[in-house]
């Protein structure tokens, strides 16, 4: 995002668009982190279920 600002420092409309886009990028970062947490939790629970089922089958 900073490269575009350096390329066009005088364009006011571009700066206004950038200021509108920045909070969306922060929201996207939050969404990505939430998705990563959900994926990690799903993987962890699936691994636990596999371990429990294998223990039950072996015992």
Give dist(CA 11, CA 35) in Å, integer: 35
Q: What share of the chain is helix, strand, coil (3-state, %, to 5)?
A: 90, 0, 10
> From the CA atom positions of the chain, what is the Rg in Å?
23
Q: Which residue has the higher pLDDT, 11 or 30?
A: 30
Per the CB < 8 A criterion, the answer to whether 1 and 25 are in contact is yes
List, for residues 13-48, the tens digit of each pLDDT value.
Answer: 555 555 555 556 788 888 899 999 999 999 999 999
Per the CB < 8 A criterion, the answer to whether 14 and 8 are in contact is yes
pLDDT score recorded for residue 26:
80
- Whether the pLDDT of residue 12 is over 80: the answer is no
Predicted model pTM: 0.48
């Amino acid at each position: 995002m900073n490269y575009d600002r350096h390329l066009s420092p005088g364009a006011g409309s571009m700066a206004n668009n950038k200021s509108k886009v920045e909070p969306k990028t922060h929201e996207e970062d939050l969404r990505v982190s939430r998705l990563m947490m959900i994926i990690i939790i799903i993987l962890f629970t699936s691994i636990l279920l596999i371990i429990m089922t294998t223990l039950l089958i072996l015992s």
